[in-house]
Amino acid sequence: MRAWPAVFAASCLPSAAHGTAIYRHGWATVADVMGMHGKFKSADALPSDAAVAFVAEHYGMVTTGSGCPKTSHMTLEDATLSVAARIKAINPQVKVGMYWRTGMDKEIAQCSNASAALKAHGTGLFLRDDKGTLVSPDALDYSNKDARAFFADVLLNVVKQTLSSGQPAVDYVYLDGAGGSATQFAPGIGPARSVLLLADKMAWLADLQRQFDAVEGGRNVILNGVDVVSTARQFNPTGVAGVMIDHWSILEFLLRGPTIPKEDFGKFNTTTMDAGFDLARSDALSNMTVQVKGWVGPIIHQKDRYPPGMTTPSTPAEKQQVSGERFNSELALFLLVAEDRMYWMYSWFWGFDDYVPDELDSTVPQGFFPQAKCTLGAPAGPPTRVQGTWTYTREYAHASVFVDLNNRTASRVDFKGSC
């Protein structure tokens, strides 16, 4: 595969100089490279003991979180920390993270340990447009030092929590909506303030990671989502520990739009996906943990919509069947680029039971994916593109990977050992 442009690599490499830990997995089986990103609905509907046990025994990295409850008085943080503790009681080695939004802070206003403190500030911490009108009742102003300090304290309070064993209750926070536009940071905000707001937000992220580094044992910040070079350029200099590629192989990586013939709609945009392969392995992300959100593709629109001419599964049973059928070909897209600091998070969507079998709303095949048990072994070398084609190959100790960007389902992993 072609090398990433040196000017980009050189301009971005200094990010993790402070020594933030990178999470790494083993290669023994396919399961070793798999992670999970799924929230449960709320403290009113905590995951079952069976679901928690499954997660602890099958995923090396788990991002989770809670919505606001309707009847329970348990806060957002306490609900999430309780599930994290249950996971770690079964498997202390799992790296567990908590999901938070950065673009809006609805949960903090409604059901957080910090709700009362936020209310005491009135609207003073919230973002206003250029006319002075609140952009949203719960969007923080990253150019306001008090707002930055408040949110950092909320997150620090979470990562400082420890279990009776002394280990962290959560190892990282996952921040959604971490980027922003330098031309229109939010509706009603022009370029001048947008540039400043974006710079202040990136400075806040850098400072947050430094504060997490100072917590005993260290904690990590992982940002969503790096699907294009411009976002990598924003995030890399902050020095955060990790990022997620969250649209991997779907949406903008597919041919879509009114000018695309029906027979091609939903097929790979070959040049864009090829660039995605390069981005995943680029120097810009080489000093970070990278979460790769795998999908039951090809998804042209969220939530879970397939192209015209393909039946979109709708029931849990239908989704279980299709996710099982496409597991191998989707795995090939990840293993083509994978390194030991990359985790594959394959699911239909972002719910807890999108990763757990045998629950009423599970979209995972009963008993889990059989090929998760297959022997894999470390990669024998980098991926190779077959000259003059959109096909790629890569060898592992116990598997061969083939990817064809002109035929998604022809992509495959052939296992040489036990399975």
User: Using one digit for the tens of pLDDT, what is the confidence trace for 166-177?
Assistant: 999 999 999 999
Phi/psi region, residue 166 (left: phi>0; alpha: psi -120 to 50; beta: rest), is left
pLDDT category, 4, cuts 50, 70, 90?
very low
Residue 244 has pLDDT above 80, yes or no: yes
Q: What are 191-205's pLDDT values in tens digits?
A: 999 999 999 999 999
Residue 13 has pLDDT above 50, yes or no: no
Average pLDDT of span 355-364: 96
CATH architecture label of 6-374 = Alpha-Beta Barrel (3.20)
Count of CA atoms in the C-beta half-sphere (13 A) of 280? 31
Average pLDDT of span 95-102: 97
Does an H or E element contain 110, and which?
helix 106-111
How many Cβ atoms sit within 10 Å of the Cβ of residue 251?
A: 17
Give the pLDDT score at 18. Answer: 46
Give the pLDDT score at 95. Answer: 98
Sign of CA dihedral 11, 16, 17, 18: positive
Average pLDDT of span 15-41: 87
Residue 111 has pLDDT above 90, yes or no: yes
Distance CA 316, CA 168 (A): 35
Give the pLDDT score at 5. Answer: 34
Count of CA atoms in the C-beta half-sphere (13 A) of 156? 17
Looking at 242-307, list the stretches that DSSP marks H as alpha helix, in order from N- to C-terminal side. Answer: 270-280
Residue 31 has pLDDT above 50, yes or no: yes
Q: Are 300 and 254 in contact (CB under 8 A)?
A: yes
- DSSP structure string for 173-212: EEEET----SS-SSTT--HHHHHHHHHHHHHHHHHHHHHH
- What is the three-class DSSP state of 370? helix
The pair of structure tokens assigned to 220 is 């990590």
Is-cis flag, bond preceding 5, omega within 30? Answer: no
Average pLDDT of span 52-64: 98
Average pLDDT of span 197-215: 98
Distance CA 331, CA 139 (A): 37
The pair of structure tokens assigned to 186 is 């939010």
Q: Which among 157, 151, 179, 181 has a CA at the least distance from the CA of 170?
A: 157
Least confident segment among 2-6, 81-85, 220-224: 2-6
The pair of structure tokens assigned to 314 is 């709708």
Mean pLDDT (the chain) is 94
Average pLDDT of span 28-42: 97
Give the pLDDT score at 107. Answer: 87
Q: What are 378-388's pLDDT values in tens digits?
A: 999 999 999 99
399-404 vs 391-396, strand pairing mode: antiparallel
